[in-house]
Structure 1
Amino acid sequence: MSVSDVNNLATPYPVVDADPHFNRVLANLRTQDYLLWGGATAFAPGAIYGMELADPTKLGRAGLRPTLRLATWLGFAGGFLLAYQNASLRLWGWKENAAEQEQDRAELTARAKAGQALYGESELPEYIQGVAHRNSMWSQLKFGVLPWFNFVNHPFHGTDPAKYKEDA
């Protein structure tokens, strides 16, 4: 998908941001995302401990402790990726996103009124911003292979920036 095709997305809900910055996704995490993250963090060591109770490995407490720590870390990381993906799906318009639309309209209209760049300033050349966009677009769908996030401010977000300037 080229940069120009991003504006032609057909989604069940309005697109808020087709390639959101890492910080923007975190700002749009809902309570349900935090609960999912916490549940995954608790589930991983709980599953290991439950399997140990069902079929003991005879490691004892000292031997089980590093396994539980690793399981907790993996549950934490996996839960974060799930929560991040859920927030991204809402920003993409693939899930219900009324709260995100409201927050986006308020935030970007305020930035337009203040004369600021809608999606932040970047010192990178436009070509490199495009490369970063093409590398991070839809990356949340490939977290199982390679966790990849958008850390670059760029103008390619699949929405018409004029709508924020009209409201300003």
Structure 2
Amino acid sequence: MSSTTKVNDLQTSYPLIDADPTASRVLSYMRPSDYALWAAGTAAAPGAIYAMELADPTKLGRAGLRPTLRLATFLGFAGGFLLAYQTSSLRFWGWKENAIEVERDQKELSALAKAGKPVYGESDLPEYVQGVAHRNSMWSQLKFGALPWFNLVNHKHHGVDVSKYSSDE
């Protein structure tokens, strides 16, 4: 039984870049539209609370409403971040248009391969622990509603043939 998730049979509309990208890669590949989505989520939550207060006042006044708006802003910030992170991950998986990311990935990882470095980074963790980290984080961006979980471990389980980075194109 293999310790990796088989993604070779997965059919997507766009090319698969990485089936289990690390959090640092997902964040560094975010587009301006992802940041706009994050900002919109941050603003939407307190905006909704304020709009509901205008529609049906609670008679708390400005001082009483302040803690509620602060909490709503924090929750909007967290929710907006998770939504932006998920959107960036969907491009890695090939579920959304990803031409910019494909080009950047090819350039960055080809440079690492030519330098003789491992394309997905090095890890001091034992192989078994890397496999456990992979199995726990694979597709975790789809489960953010239940438990926000991020891949923080470099491992070799990414569902991509790394030989494509060694070829001279």
Place the TM-score, normalised by the shorter chain, in its bin. Answer: over 0.9
**Ranges of 4+ aligned residues in structure 1 off by more than 3 Å:** none
1:17 and 1:157 in contact (8 A); partners too: yes
Count of residue pairs the alignment pairs up? 168
Larger helix fraction of residues = 1
> Structure 1 residue 48: deviation in Å?
0.4
SS in 1 for 2:52: helix
Letter in 1 for 2:168: D
Aligned partner of 1:65 in structure 2 is 66
CA RMSD of aligned residues (A): 1.3
2:20 alignment counterpart:
19
Q: List aligned pairs for 1:58-97, cutoff 5 A.
A: 58-97=59-98
Q: For residue 126 of structure 1, what is the aligned residue in structure 2?
A: 127
Mapped partners of 2:83, 2:21: distance in 1: 16
| Counterpart for residue 34 of structure 2 | 33
Counterparts of 1:4 and 1:93 in 2: how far apart (Å)?
Answer: 16
Separation (CA, whole Å) in 1 of partners of 2:30 and 2:5: 28
* 1:48 counterpart residue number: 49
Segments of 5+ residues of structure 1 without an aligned counterpart are none
Q: TM-score, normalised by structure 1?
A: 0.96
The Cα of 1:9 is off from its aligned counterpart by 2.3
Aligned to 1:161: 162
The residue that corresponds to 2:105 in the other structure is 104
Does structure 2 conserve the Cα–Cα contact (< 8 Å) formed by 1:22 and 1:150? yes
One-letter code of the match for 1:138? W
Q: What are structure 2's unaligned runs of at least 5 residues? A: none
Counterpart of 1:7 in structure 2 is 8
Query: Given the superposition, is the C-alpha separation of residues 4 and 69 from structure 1 closer, same or farther in structure 2, using an over 3 Å criterion?
Result: closer
TM-score when scaled to structure 2?
Answer: 0.96
Letter aligned with residue 142 of structure 1: K
Residue identity opposite 2:15 in structure 1: P
Is 1:6–1:156's contact at 8 Å kept on the other side of the alignment?
no
Q: Is the 8 A contact 2:133 2:153 kept in 1?
A: yes
Q: Deviations along 1:91-121, whole A, 9 cap, x unmatched?
A: 0001110001000000000001111110111
Aligned counterparts of 1:103 and 1:9: Cα–Cα separation in 2:
22
Q: Give the % identical residues.
A: 71
SS of alignment partner, residue 81 of structure 2: helix
